Amino acid sequence: MEEGEEVYVDWRGNAVDERRHGGIRATVFLYVLFMIRSCSNSSNFSMVAYLHGMLHLDIVTSSTVISYLVGTVMISAAAMNFISDACIKRTTAIFVFGPCVVLGYMLLALQAHFPSLHPEICAIDKEPNNCEAAQGWNLTLLYLSLLIFAIGEGCMRACIPSLGGDQFSNSDPKKSQLQSMFLTRLKFTNSLGAIIGLAFLVWIENNLGWDIGFMMCALIVLVGLLVAASGYPFYRMQKPSGSPLTRTLQVLIISSNKKAVANVDVIELQETNTQDHVFKFGTNQADETKVLIQMLPVFISCFLVYLPFTLLMTLSIQVGRAMDKGAGVIQIPSASLIAIPTTFHVLMQPCYSRILTILLRRTTGHEHGVTPLQRIGAGSICGIAAACVATLVEARRLNVAKQQGLTSIGTGVPMSIFWLVIQFFLLSIMDIASFGGLIEFIESEAPSTMKPIAPAVQSCIAGLAAWSCSGFIQLVNRMTRSGNGGGGWLDGTNFNKTRLDHFFLLLGAFELLALINYTFWARRYARKLRRISTVETHEDDTRH
């Protein structure tokens, strides 16, 4: 089997039978697993409340832990995408690493249940200065639990969509269309699972206990894995055939040698004794690497665009704890508000695809209404708007807290939590537009052999941006401390004493600079493509 050649087998390693393996029947099991995974994973939006309320971590530390968690999940997804292409089958990856999610939740449930594994229970919102924060072994157990969870979650995030795509043959136009329908339906099941998790699991965690909530998440994911395992005899499984990233790294390493071309020829001739194969191999690798290098400025710009997202989302959820969460007799956790824009997006998706896309297509002439680069830019604009709205809402909340004499405690501000809906809505648009736009950009511009790594590249960039958030928030908090021992903008655990409005404004300014930088490189890339297209058209006309 040549590198890059797709070969599919059944669970016994035999050639697939199109009548028994793959198709819509096999994807049903994956829909269930992905929806259940999304259900439990969406409840992790309230994880920051657990860190603050149960483990008594301060604002900066809580945000740092969440940033590391998000980044590790994304980097794990990128790594698993590479591993499932180059080393092991996707089904093997899912059922080997997927149980790590269950184990991670179980460890979190144990920590929340046993008093010896977490600090003594304390009303941190009412007595923010009298609560002991988790440290030592308790903090180590938290990090271990989240690391194990992130490995499993990253695996399922990367491998389930790819495994579903493997159930349909690319050579058959009808089945290729079914593959596209599968991905559309998978997005719907992902959103449906997220809504269920945000509405019910988050409420359970905040009202019935974190130990019960985490254990329910573990059981739900376990059921999903068992359902997916029952479909094992029906899956088409792609045998590992190497990753485009491997070939790209080979070119970069070889090209660092002055005798790059000669070395490639010698190595390949020794292995194949076929000069034509050598030329094709080397040319394809060089083309793939050249395309990646051309895209690199856009990738770096997207990294800067993504950086404020995790902090805006995390801090918005945290500040909701200090607001009025009542809706009648029901107390609504701030993380559950994300279900509102998620539901709106699900309902509006048919309108977008059947009405808005057609109208935009007539205006722009682009097949999808707007280009992937324009989608990323639109997402960044929503990020700026979200930061500005968050600044205004937080400034009003702090003013109300001051007027009511609530600055000495960290909760009780008589201001409805529903003020946060607008910024959550804008952040959810940024998530869909910018994150999805980068995947579309890679898939539309990269050679066909590199299209499968688009999600991995996007996950890697988003993961590095999330990791960078932890350093960013610590740096800002340290720099805003006054020389006479005054606290930084985000010191302590009391949100009514912070200057979170200033920090949100800073994030908005950072996002604006990131958008300006992105626009420069995106327009430069687009102009380069137009020049290349013009040259190729002229050469074709000359030949004819």
**Looking at residue 404, what is its pLDDT?**
86
Name the β-bridge partners of 327.
Answer: 330
**What are the C-alpha distances in Å from 330 to residues 284, 326, 461, 496?**
60, 6, 39, 24
Q: What is the pTM of this model?
A: 0.87
d(CA 291, CA 442): 10
**Looking at residue 388, what is its pLDDT?**
96
What residue spans define the domains of the chain? 1-242, 244-258+292-534
Q: Domain spanning 1-242: which superfamily?
A: MFS general substrate transporter like domains (1.20.1250.20)
**Looking at residue 171, what is its pLDDT?**
67
Cβ burial of 77 (10 Å; 0-12, 13-18, 19+) is buried
Instruction: Please state the length of the chain.
Output: 544
d(CA 456, CA 460): 6
Residues 6+ apart with CB under 8 A from 159: 80, 81, 84, 90, 93, 94
**Looking at residue 376, what is its pLDDT?**
93
CATH 1.20.1250.20 is the classification of domain 244-258+292-534: yes
| Mean pLDDT, each 10-residue run in order, the chain (544 residues) | 64 80 88 92 87 88 92 92 82 92 96 90 75 88 95 92 84 70 87 90 89 94 94 86 63 54 46 46 62 86 94 90 77 84 79 71 72 91 95 94 82 86 91 87 78 84 93 92 73 87 96 96 84 59 58
Do 1-242 and 244-258+292-534 fold alike per CATH?
A: yes
Instruction: Encode pLDDT of 349-390 as tens digits.
Output: 777 667 777 777 777 766 667 888 999 999 999 999 999 999
Using only C-alpha atoms, the chain has a radius of gyration, in whole angstroms, of: 25
**Looking at residue 356, what is its pLDDT?**
72
Instruction: Encode pLDDT of 133-192 as tens digits.
Output: 888 899 999 999 999 999 999 999 999 998 888 888 766 666 667 777 888 888 889 989
**Looking at residue 279, what is its pLDDT?**
45
**Looking at residue 537, what is its pLDDT?**
56
Name the β-bridge partners of 237.
Answer: 9
Phi, psi of 238 (to 5 degrees): -80, 130
Collect contacts of 524-528 with beta carbons under 8 A, ≥24 apart.
524/297, 525/294, 525/295, 525/297, 525/298, 525/373, 526/371, 526/373, 528/294
Q: Select from 70, 56, 329 the least CA-distant residue to 207.
A: 329
